[in-house]
């Protein structure tokens, strides 16, 4: 069976066998995910941490200096890129391939929401959401995933060898 908990991230960490967990899929809101990610990374459970521990040559993409520093600290090649821009994704993949001799696995776990995520519909009751809330809550993440996946697909076809692409989605994909 698969162990589960209804006690949140603290319940997960307290579970017998937590040390043996290799992969955690956190399907929560962006705000909750930030806290969960910090807890998981402290226990070496982030995607980059796990791939590095398995001996993969890893490159990570981010826009912020703090995230780029974390990528480097985890032992991966840190690349500045924007997953909402096809040319930026392609350039990062080209750089990763040049550094590591090709790309075998591409994972998109970025959540590119628009707006500031502080108001209704992504931050409050849907009944209080304005007409512009749909764009930042639903369209922006889908557009980001499409941009990332189409750029990755074009790169991998041109690379001419088998590879795997993984798109990580959040809890909103099931609501």
Condensed to tens digits (0 to 9), the pLDDT of residues 138-160 reads: 777 788 889 989 999 999 999 99
Q: What is the largest CA-CA distance in the chain?
A: 51
Per the prediction, the chain carries an average pLDDT of: 77
Measured between alpha carbons, how far is 159 from 67 in angstroms, rounded to an integer? 28
The secondary structure element, H or E, covering residue 79 is strand 77-80
Using the structure block, give the residue that is written with the tokens 């924007």: 82
Ramachandran quadrant class, 44 (left: phi over 0; alpha: psi -120 to 50; beta: rest): left
Count of C-beta atoms within a 10 Å radius of residue 54: 9
Q: What is the pTM of this model?
A: 0.70
């Amino acid at each position: 069976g698969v162990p589960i908990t209804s006690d949140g991230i603290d319940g997960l960490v307290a579970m017998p066998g937590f040390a043996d967990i290799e992969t955690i899929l956190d399907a929560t809101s962006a705000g909750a995910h930030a806290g969960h990610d910090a807890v998981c990374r402290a226990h070496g459970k982030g995607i980059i941490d796990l791939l590095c521990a398995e001996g993969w040559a890893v490159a990570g993409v981010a826009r912020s200096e703090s995230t780029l520093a974390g990528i480097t600290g985890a032992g991966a090649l840190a690349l500045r890129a924007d997953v909402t821009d096809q040319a930026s994704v392609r350039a990062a993949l080209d750089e990763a391939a040049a550094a590591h001799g090709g790309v075998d696995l591409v994972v998109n776990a970025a959540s590119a929401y628009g707006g500031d995520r502080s108001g209704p519909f992504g931050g409050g009751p849907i009944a209080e959401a304005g007409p512009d809330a749909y764009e930042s809550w639903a369209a922006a993440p889908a557009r980001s995933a499409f941009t990332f996946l189409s750029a990755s697909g074009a790169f991998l076809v041109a690379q001419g060898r088998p590879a795997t692409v993984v798109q990580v989605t959040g809890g909103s994909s099931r609501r």
